Structures are given as structure tokens and as C-alpha cells.
Amino acid sequence: MLNLSFSRFKLSAAILVGASLAFTSCGGNTQEGGSDMSGSISIDGSSTVYPVTEAVAEEYRAEAPDVKVTVGVSGTGGGMKKFSRGEIDIVNASRSINDSEAKTAKENGISYVQLSVAYDGLTVVVHPSNDWAKDITVAELKKMWEPEAQGTITRWNQIRPEWPDKEIHLYGAGVESGTYDYFTEAIVGKSHSSRGDYTASEDDNVLVQGVSTDPLALGFFGYAYYEENKSKLKAIPVDNGAGPVLPSLETVKDGSYAPLSRALFLYVSSKAVVRPEVVDFINFYLENAGELAQEVGYIPLPDNVYNEQKQKFEQFATGAATAKQ
Amino acid sequence: MTNSEKNRLKDKAFQVFGIFCTFIGLVVLAIFLIDIVIEGIGRIDWDFLTSLPSRRAARAGILTAWAGTLWILVLSALIAFPLGIAAGIYLEEYAKKTKLSDFLEINIANLAGVPSIIYGLLGLELFVRFMHLGPVLLVGALTLSLLILPIVIVTTREAIKAVPRTIRDGSFALGASKWQTVWNQVLPASFGGILTGVILALSRAVGEAAPLIVIGALAYVPFVPKTPMDEFTVLPIQIFNWTSRPQAAFLTNAAAAIIVLLLITFLLNGIAVYLRHRQQKKIKW
């Protein structure tokens, strides 16, 4: 009886393993496209940049089916850590590299190039029934988000006297996200510094849900989330001294929506750029980023900026190649 | 009211309260399931199961995700099963009651309560960085094996404990050694219980995303892993990724992927229930 159950187990284990092997072999690649490149490219980092890179990687597969491009989402911080240790080739970043990350990279003999690939416009939103907040200045945003506001700024009329004497409920990005770093830098003036008594989430859909069901809410998140949920939200034009501006494709692209439009970056490692498939992939990326970024909800850079990025990358690649020889 | 009437009333009251408590859990689960099924069932078709991830929600599939999940499942079972059972047998049958074995026991119980993300960090430092294995399937399976090992050990011990003393004594009386007794009597008698524990532990591992994200499991993998040294993604990571996207169509995809993940979990639990049932029927002392 004992032996029976053991051999049964072995059999079922064997079947499981067999089955898993069988299906692995049926994911065959279709050979098409013009490139005979091969190899693999590892990318990790920001979940904000992820949709753009995913879209590019998907399209690149048709171009070079033998290049395995993989993309992770361990966050800008997590990605940078791996990048500066030389564990990955490219990092998706929703902020610039910081000093300690740059130092680690240097210690490991890694230099890098920063390429902008798209814009995101952080959008300030309120509930659609909110009829008083028609525009907001950067100073007012600072007043409600700075660390000193904690516990003291709790009502709409404290921000602007003609606004109603009602509670204000704040919703914003969680402190681990690059979005939070960017917002605090742009509004409060110091990265990673804000009041703590607001509803925080790393998941923008949660923030959409919160603001769209709370008539006293004010929140901020990426433009794509506003764009997809326009019917449930109301965006507030932000006034940076030159009159209130609503985020849109045009205002973010031409820089008039300030200071809340930010660039999304790729960092390419000097150790990776000596491989032809990496150069090929980055060129493909910069070639197609505009169109694909817009498709996944971000805002493309102006064409001349993409051209600048290409030149910047080419110089970097040549430099790295010469250094190697 | 007499005393016995009072007691009967209390009895009844608790019964009603008990039913209420039971239903809270069930109703919440039912609402969740119905919501998910309504949202996602229409999305599941052959293409969804056999397509690669894509930026277009309608074209995206979960091939690499469920393949990764299946790989992880098989590898974790192969690793955690022998380790956990051997440790359980040692602690229950061989270990003398010493300070060391007390210490081990307390720590294993504590390990069962450690949050899964901590195991992820351990896996990252130990397997990815120190042993330089990279964020591959084998590392994911090793990390999840560590995660479920305490559960496997504890259930193994419980199953072995349930084997009556008299069976062992009988075996010893016939001149069998300790190992012969364990191998020929104790293990066969407790195997159903052990297997149940292992499978339930695996069904927990299947739902983990956090530790795998920490070790560097990916979100976009355009190929099915072929060896344990390949990079991978799993269903929970794909679901997590889709739920955080702005476009509503990705939420439908997430719901469909949740259904697939639930089916895998239910299937595993079903196997566990079947094995326990068969075992109970088979053993007659």
C-alpha cells in the first residue's frame, strides 16, 4: 500500500514535469522581420515608465524576434539599485538618478546616459460636483501640501478665503513612488517632503476611486489616469504665474503646463551599450516612443527633442565603444 | 425560566451567532467571486491563454504568466517536499527533547508567521546577489520553498503525530530499526496528511507576488521559460500590473487572469481534499 502511494506520487510528479516541458516547447517563435540581431536585454525600474517600454518591446519583437527583451517593475529606486550594480542594461526612471546611486555606479565602473522618452502631466483633480475650485496657484498647492500644513490646513477656505468653509480631503501618490518625489520637488520645493495626513496610494486607480467618490477631495496623479476617467473627475488648471493652464497634449508638450509636467527617462549603461542589440533597441525606442507613448496615455516629446536624444545616445555609444578598445 | 431553559436559549443564541459569523466570510467571498466572474469570464478564450503580454488590452494574453506559475509550482514542490518532510520526520521521530530542539521548534513556528516580502528580501540577498543566480525561475522557486517550508514541516509533524504509538511499538517489536519503522509504517500511514499539507502550502505560494517582485521577477516576458535558469513572470504579478493600469480594458484582463489563478488554486485544493479522503478510507487499524 505504501509503495503504491509513493509510485503514484512519482507518476503524477512525472506527468506534471512532462506537461510543463511539453507546453514550453510550443511557444515557438515565428521568424519574421528584417533584423538578424540576437541576444537579450534586461530592463527594470519605474512602473510609470513601464507601459511605454512594454509597448516598445512588443513592437521590437516584430523587428528583431531573436532579441529577448524583458521588463520588470521594481520601481525607480529598485531599478536604479540594480542598474548601478551592473545587474541590468537599462533602467526605466520617473526621476533623475540621485547622488548615492550615481556614486555606486561610478564605483562599479558604470557610466550612463539619460534619455528622455515621453512626458507625463501630473494632474490636479477634484470631484465633478466641486464648483468652487476653478483654478489653483502653485503657492496654494504648496500651502496645502507642505509639511507644516499637517493638522493645520484642513478646510478649503484656509487656502482661499472665498472657497467654502468645508473640510478638504487630500489624495496623493505614496511616498515610495517617483511621482511623490517629483510632486514634492515641484510644489513644496524639496523632494520627499510633504504633510503625512493624506490618503496615499501607490496605485493611481485607488486615487481615482477616492477622488471620484468624495465631493470634498483634491488629489493628483498621472495624466493617463485623468484621461481615462474624465467623466468622473474634474481637472483644475494650475497657475504658475502666467495664468491658469489645464494639462493637455499641447500644454504639456510645449512646456506651458508647469511645473507639473515631467519627463520620463531611460538610463542606458556603458557596459550594455557595447552590444549591438542594445544600440539597435534604443534607436528603435527613440524612433517609436512618440507614437507609442501617446497610445498608452503619455505625451510625446517634440520631434526635435527626440532627435536630440538620438544624437546624445549616439555620442554615448561611440564613446563607450572607443573606451572599450 | 428554569436553568436548563436558560442554557438552551444561550445554546440557540450561540448557534445563530455562529451561523452569522460563518456567513460573513462566505458572503464576502461570494460577492468577490461573482464580481470577478461577471467582469472576466467573457475575456477568457484560447487566445487569452496563448498570447504574449501586450500594450493593447484586447490582444494581451497570459501565456508566459501561467507558464511561469506552473514552473514555479513544480519546482517549489520538488524543493520543499523532500526538505520539509525530512525536517518534520527528524523533529518528530529522532530529535531528543533538548534545548536545541526546543529552539528549532519555536523558530519554525515563528517562521510561519514571517511576512512573505521578508522572504523576498532574503532570496534577493542570498540567491540573486550572493550566489549570483540572477532573477530566474530557480531562485523564485527556492524563495517560495523557504516561504512554505515552515508550513510543510508543521503539517508533516501533525500527520506523523496522528499515527498511533502502537503501530511503532509493533514494528519495533518485530525487530525493525527506527528508519525501517518510519519508512514502512509511519510514512505510509501519514502520507495523505503530509501531501495535503504540501499542496495547501503550494496553493499559498501560487498566489504570492510580493517576494517574487523583490527578487526581480519581471512583468514583461515575451517568451515561455524553457529551463529553471530562465527569467520569468507569474500570474499574480501580471494581475497586479494590469490592475494598476489606467485603461478599463486591462481591469477586465486582470479579472480574467484572476479566474485562471483561482482555478489553479481550486484544482490544487481539490486534489488535497481528494487525497485526504482517500487516505482516511484506506487506513484501518
Nearest-CA neighbor of A249 among A204, A201, A300? A300
Interatomic CA distance for residues A117 and B259, integer angstroms = 35
Residues near B273 by beta carbon (within 8 Å), at least 6 away in sequence: B196
Q: Which of B55, B225, B244 sits opposite A203 (nearest CB)?
A: B244
Looking at chain B, the whole-number percentage of residues with pLDDT higher than 70 is: 99
Q: B98 or A281: whose pLDDT is higher?
A: A281
Q: What is the DSSP letter of B31?
A: H
**Residues listed for chain B:** 285
Q: Which of B218, B241, B245 sits opposite A70 (nearest CB)?
A: B218
Chain centroid to Cα A94, Å, comes to 5
Amino acid at B66: W
Nearest-CA neighbor of B69 among B247, B257, B272? B257
What's the grid cell of residue B258?
484572476
Taking the model in full, what pTM does it have? Answer: 0.82
What's the grid cell of residue B159?
500527520
Residues near A121 by beta carbon (within 8 Å), at least 6 away in sequence: A222, A223, A247, A248, A251, A252, A257, A260, A261, A262, A299
- The pLDDT value recorded for residue A31 is 40
Sorted by where each begins, the domain ranges of chain B are: 3-43, 47-282
pLDDT tens-digit series, residues B158-190: 999 999 999 999 999 999 999 999 999 999 889
Q: Mark the ranges of chain A whose per-residue pLDDT is less than 50.
A: 1-33
Confidence of residue B98 (pLDDT cuts 50, 70, 90): confident
Nearest-CA neighbor of B108 among B59, B152, B76? B152
CB A182 within 8 A of CB A122: yes
Amino acid at A325: Q
Contact A44 B218 (CB under 8 A): yes
ipTM of the complex: 0.79
Mean pLDDT of B95-115: 87
**Bond into B135 cis (ω within 30):** no
By CB atoms closer than 10 A (0-12, 13-18, 19+), residue B113 is exposed
Residue B234 has pLDDT above 70, yes or no: yes
Report the residue of B214, B245, B284 to disrupt the A interface, i.e. the one with the largest count of A CBs within 10 Å: B245
pLDDT tens-digit series, residues B49-73: 999 999 898 899 999 999 999 999 9
pLDDT tens-digit series, residues B6-39: 999 999 999 999 999 999 989 999 999 999 999 9
Q: A29 or B272: whose pLDDT is higher?
A: B272
- The pLDDT value recorded for residue A207 is 94
Contact B55 A54 (CB under 8 A): yes
Contact A205 B243 (CB under 8 A): yes
Interatomic CA distance for residues A287 and A281, integer angstroms = 10
Confidence of residue B263 (pLDDT cuts 50, 70, 90): very high
Contact B226 A23 (CB under 8 A): no
- For residue B223, the chain A residues in CB contact (below 8 A) are 27, 29, 68
Name the β-bridge partners of A277.
none
Contact A295 B55 (CB under 8 A): yes
Interatomic CA distance for residues A228 and B244, integer angstroms = 13
* A143, A146, A147, A152 alpha-carbon torsion, rounded to 10°: 20
- The pLDDT value recorded for residue A34 is 53
Q: What CATH topology corresponds to B47-282?
A: MetI-like fold (1.10.3720)
Q: What is the DSSP letter of A48?
A: T
